[in-house]
Amino acid sequence: MLDRFITLLKKGEVVAFPTETVYGLGADAQNPDAIKKVFETKGRPSDNPLIVHVSDQKQVKQFATNISEDARKLMDTFWPGPLTLIFKKKPEVLDLITAGLDTVALRWPKHPLSQELIALAGPLVAPSANSSGKPSPTKAEHVKEDFGKDFPVVEAGETAIGLESTVLDISSEPYTIYRPGAISAQEIANIIHKNVEYKSTKSQETTAKSPGTKYTHYTPDASVQWLKENPHIADNTLYLLHSRTISDGKNMIQYEGNFNKMAHELYDRFRQADHLGYTAIAIEPFSDDQYDNPIVQALQNRISKAIG
């Protein structure tokens, strides 16, 4: 089933494929022309580095140096899975991938089709398969919305998690999370017995070390906002609620404390809101105790960025 896609990748073309987080836009990590096509297809700024996707731990050595004991423990525990690790890079890693940084981001995704594709076509750079600035794709049809109906996509239904991986820099200490995801700072700290920092604000230090964090992301055309305490209810607003009830109505989406489901559906709701003509999306804010849940931290991060 993957033959056609492997042939395309080996010819230097780009192909979208499912991972357990979101759909990725894959290209051969050894082929500069193929990598350029990734930036062109997405309209991605060239100073935003790409994550290289591997299909086993051995491939890490092709890209990274100084693979520490902590790195081993993290890979053994969380790979394959939604954790991207940033290592010091080998000199031969293409600058196109790393945007000229001295580090490289690596991840082994869990979806069986992504694993098969990488095992047969080689390590792939793979940012999310959306036009830059749009919500990440969690269904094959989202990819086709952005890149056209004939775009090559390995189709496999909806992605399980629905939000992008945790990005953790282990190239220098203290280890720092640049992007929260399904795997939390606490879970990571429990494995390596070291403090893990997460800077939720856009500090200059973070944008220099992980340039992607400075760009607007995840934005539908509808205006995204936090739901107010006493909101004025409008028909042209879509409401995403996890704890409160306001009223019945097809524009009231209730998650009843199921934050994993909310994460799984968030980007699809963003895209649907545009198709259905909603002009605003009002999302119930999270409380401090809910914020202990890693997926709530990831939701908070993506929603804040969508608000801008």
Closest CA to 23 of 145, 187, 119: 145
Distances from the Cα of 190 to the Cα of 74, 175, 187, angstroms: 10, 13, 5
Closest CA to 134 of 297, 270, 282: 270
Dihedral angle sign, alpha carbons of residues 122, 125, 131, 134: positive
Stretch in the footprint of ligand AMP (CB under 6 A) among 205-213, 237-245, 276-284, 285-293: 205-213
In the complex, minimum distance from the CB of residue 189 to ligand AMP, in angstroms, rounded to a whole number: 20
According to the 3-state scheme, what is the secondary structure of 180-211? CCCCCHHHHHHHHCCCEEECCCCCHHHHHHCH
CB nearer to ligand AMP: pick between 135 and 278: 135
Using CB under 6 A as the binding rule, whether residue 31 contacts ligand AMP is answered as no
Stretch in the footprint of ligand AMP (CB under 6 A) among 44-52, 59-67, 143-151, 239-247: 44-52
> Would you say 177 and 197 are in contact if contact means Cβ atoms under 8 Å apart?
yes
In the complex, minimum distance from the CB of residue 8 to ligand AMP, in angstroms, rounded to a whole number: 20
Using CB under 5 A as the binding rule, whether residue 115 contacts Mg ion is answered as no
Among 31, 59, 184, 213, interactor with ligand AMP by CB under 6 A: 213
Stretch in the footprint of ligand AMP (CB under 6 A) among 66-74, 99-107, 114-122, 226-234: 99-107
- The residues that touch ligand AMP, with contacts defined as CB under 6 A, are 48-49, 51, 86, 98, 101, 103-105, 127-128, 164, 167, 178-179, 209-213
- The residues that touch Mg ion, with contacts defined as CB under 5 A, are 128
